[in-house]
Amino acid sequence: MKKRNLLRLGAALSGLLMAMPALAQELTFWSWRQEDKAVYEELIKTFEAQNPGITVKFEAFEATNYNTILSTALAGGTGPDLMMVRAFGGLETIASGGYLMPLDNTKIPALADFSPAALAAETMRSDQTLYAVPFASQTQFVIYNKAIFDQNGLKEPQTWDEFIKLAEDLKAKGVIPFANGTATAWQNETIVGALVSSIYGRGFYDDLMAGKVDFNDPRYVDALAKLKDITAYFPDGFIGLDYPSAQQLFTSGMAAMFAGGSYEIANFRAQNPDIQLGVFAAPGIKADDEKLVAIYFDGGYAANAKTAHPEAAVKFLNFLASKDFGQVFANKLNNISTVPGVTFDDPLLGEVAELNQHSIPYLMLVHFRYGEPSGSVLLQGEVQKLLDNQTTPAEIGKALTDGLANWYEPFKK
């Protein structure tokens, strides 16, 4: 009797298990993009509908503290299954600790079509392993208020002299030419990429990467001198002007131009939905000098090496690498997706994509954040001193070269 009951119970349990769907798998996904939460949650619903049994919980943290929060959680064994990670040197900090799942084309077939530069941004230099799916490129250039330009009969400048005259004309008409300030340190690096990439030029960049020159090169030093010249058209008291205040000067229509990145477009439109924006690459000395923007890749999507649900995590990464995701990313987040074949409904984003055809890397972020002191920390501090008349362009060139020589092999004597 007892044996028959056990057989009946076993049969009942077998039937129950057969009727149940596969065990649910809940993935956690961390980001520093609080402002994008609604769009990500919409995209996640699409993924969940395509993958029954897998749910994804999106959590966004304050951007400035995100790296610390993520590193601490991963080290303590409480990190997420999936996460946004910074690119270049920022990736190395986490990947070198063994916290990220190595990726390749067998796990994420779509990666085979991504550009080598985008993949390099998410590849750790020491082991040449890819650890994340790249998600966006950003471009440093000049953003301008089209209405102010039209009202004053102004056009995008083709030479440096025209650029200076444009700023002079705006100032004479009572319009602040540039909204930028230097109180927020990272802004000091963006104005170099946005305003003088065409001045130091592709030739300097190629020679620098080839180890033929350093930052004492006259092309770089002269570019910093030009930077100092044009900041005469920044707002009065710009040394103490922080980033949010500079943004407000521009979106309110008090200033005509903003030296910044493509990531500003969505923010500016959100602050002033009526503003009409234009973008251009700051010119070189002559009209036939190549007009260059500075470009970098913003970050990537990675999986935790110790996730309890590796197959589900890889499924989600494949979703994030898809063209369908990239198209929504471009259309709804107003960003340049790294997914090949994505088109841009927004004409301004289309212009950014065209400008990117003539670009060089955003120098300190792409190449000089792999040691201490980083090139970004050095440049940001030195530019602020330059604009506050505490140093010279030549002294900056020496400070960058000497500082980076602590860890950058080509600069070591």
pLDDT digits over 134-143, tens only?
Answer: 999 999 999 9
DSSP per-residue letters across 123-175: EETTTTEE-SEE--EEEEEEEEEHHHHHHTT----SSHHHHHHHHHHHHHTT-
CATH code of the domain containing 362: 3.40.190.10
pLDDT at position 90 is: 87
Residue 9 lies in a domain: no
Residue 170 lies in a domain: yes
Name residues of the chain where pLDDT drops below 50: 1-2, 6-7, 9-21
pLDDT at position 126 is: 87
Residue 13 lies in a domain: no
Q: Indicate the residue among 330, 356, 382 that finishes a domain.
A: 356
Q: Give whole-number Cα distances, 192 to 69, 95, 184, 306, in Å.
A: 30, 29, 14, 40
Closest by CA position to 156, among listed 144, 168, 147: 144
Beta bridge partners of 258: 143
Q: Is 73 helix (H, G, I), strand (E, B) or coil?
A: helix
Residue 310 lies in a domain: yes
pLDDT digits (tens, 9 = 90+) for 392-410: 999 999 999 999 999 999 9
Closest by CA position to 266, among listed 353, 355, 357, 330: 330
pLDDT at position 8 is: 56
* Phi-psi group of 70: left, alpha or beta (phi > 0 → left; psi -120 to 50 → alpha; rest → beta): alpha
CA–CA distance, 411 with 85 (Å, rounded to integer)? 29
Domain shared by 246 and 169, yes or no: yes
CA–CA distance, 36 with 242 (Å, rounded to integer)? 23
Domain shared by 177 and 83, yes or no: no
Domain shared by 267 and 393, yes or no: yes
Greatest Cα-to-Cα distance within the chain, rounded to the nearest angstrom: 102
pLDDT at position 13 is: 44
Q: What is the DSSP letter of 235?
A: P
Total domains in the chain come to: 2
Q: Give whole-number Cα distances, 19 to 13, 23, 398, in Å.
A: 10, 12, 72
Residue 10 lies in a domain: no
Domain shared by 348 and 365, yes or no: no
Q: Is 300 helix (H, G, I), strand (E, B) or coil?
A: strand
Domain shared by 76 and 34, yes or no: yes
Residue 129 lies in a domain: yes
Domain shared by 258 and 143, yes or no: yes
CA–CA distance, 143 with 185 (Å, rounded to integer)? 20
Domain shared by 306 and 282, yes or no: no
CA–CA distance, 187 with 410 (Å, rounded to integer)? 27
Q: Indicate the residue among 356, 373, 388 that finishes a domain.
A: 356
Domain shared by 169 and 244, yes or no: yes
Domain shared by 246 and 178, yes or no: yes
Residue 34 lies in a domain: yes
Residue 7 lies in a domain: no
Looking from the CA of 34 toward its CB, the CA atoms found within 13 Å total 6
Domain shared by 120 and 146, yes or no: no
Enter the tokens of residue 255.
Answer: 């200033």
Q: Which long-range contacts (CB under 8 A, 24 or more apart) does 95-100 make?
A: 95/124, 95/129, 95/131, 96/124, 96/126, 97/71, 98/305, 99/74, 99/75, 99/304, 99/305, 99/306, 100/131, 100/132, 100/302, 100/303, 100/304, 100/305
Enter the tokens of residue 177.
Answer: 């030419």
Structural domain containing residue 254: 139-295+357-411
Q: Give whole-number Cα distances, 155 to 62, 73, 194, 278, 379, in Å.
A: 39, 51, 18, 11, 31
Domain shared by 156 and 290, yes or no: yes
CA–CA distance, 217 with 48 (Å, rounded to integer)? 54
Domain shared by 288 and 333, yes or no: no
